[in-house]
């Protein structure tokens, strides 16, 4: 068995102004991260089909693993309106004073599974944008690029 992963790479400057602003919102969301333990600050912006943008940031807790990733903070809030306002895209941004942030910061497996579940519930893909604030931006058409054997609902 072979799984081909398709990730597109763009220059930040080549993106439309609206997409740049969407990515910048994820960066701004990282400012509200609470990450005194890891010093890894993550922000996530969520684009809904009505063009509303939701935000989330990672929130750590002294009682590990009681914290929550930025993606899940934003997506759980967004899940309240899936029936009438599906999630189309998410953007993830990270910075750290302690670690080198990978250029292509892929959401953790737990967050990927949440994205997968939301895709199933709304019956449409969620595009994933990854950016570290530098020139290169990476995008995957859906969670299957990173979690090829994710749980999926059966068609009824």
3-class DSSP string for 135-150: CEEEEECCHHHCCCCC
Position 140 in a domain? yes
Position 12 in a domain? no
Query: Count of CB atoms within 10 A of residue 129's CB?
Result: 23
Position 26 in a domain? yes
Angle between helices 70-78 and 109-122 (to 10 degrees): 20
Position 84 in a domain? yes
DSSP SS3 for 155: coil
CATH number at residue 26: 3.40.140.10
Q: How many structural domains compose the chain?
A: 1
pLDDT in tens, the chain (156 residues): 788 889 999 999 999 999 999 999 999 999 999 999 999 999 999 999 999 999 999 999 998 788 999 999 999 999 888 888 999 999 999 999 899 998 899 999 999 999 999 999 999 999 999 999 899 999 999 998 998 877 766 665
Position 2 in a domain? no
pLDDT of res. 34 = 97
Question: Among all chains, which residue has been given the structure tokens 């690029």?
Answer: 145
Positions marked active-site: 71
pLDDT of res. 31 = 98
Position 138 in a domain? yes
Position 87 in a domain? yes
pLDDT of res. 156 = 56
Q: Which domain does 45 fall in, by range? A: 17-145
Using alpha carbons only, how large is the chain's radius of gyration in Å?
15
How many CA atoms within 13 Å lie on the side-chain side of 43?
A: 21
Closest of 64, 67, 126, 66 to residue 56, by C-alpha: 67
């Amino acid at each position: 068995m072979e799984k081909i992963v398709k990730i597109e790479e763009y220059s930040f400057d080549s993106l439309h102004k609206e997409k740049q602003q969407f990515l910048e919102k994820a960066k701004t969301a990282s400012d509200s991260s609470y990450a005194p333990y890891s010093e890894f600050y993550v922000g996530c912006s969520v684009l809904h089909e009505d063009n509303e943008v939701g935000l989330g940031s990672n929130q750590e807790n002294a009682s590990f693993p009681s914290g929550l990733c930025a993606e899940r903070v934003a997506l759980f809030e967004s899940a309240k309106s899936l029936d009438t306002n599906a999630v189309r895209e998410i953007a993830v941004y990270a910075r750290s004073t302690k670690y080198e942030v990978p250029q292509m910061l892929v959401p953790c497996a737990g967050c990927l599974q949440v994205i997968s579940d939301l895709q199933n519930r709304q019956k449409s893909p969620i595009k994933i944008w990854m950016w570290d604030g530098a020139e290169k931006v990476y995008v995957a058409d859906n969670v299957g690029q990173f979690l090829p054997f994710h749980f999926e609902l059966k068609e009824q």
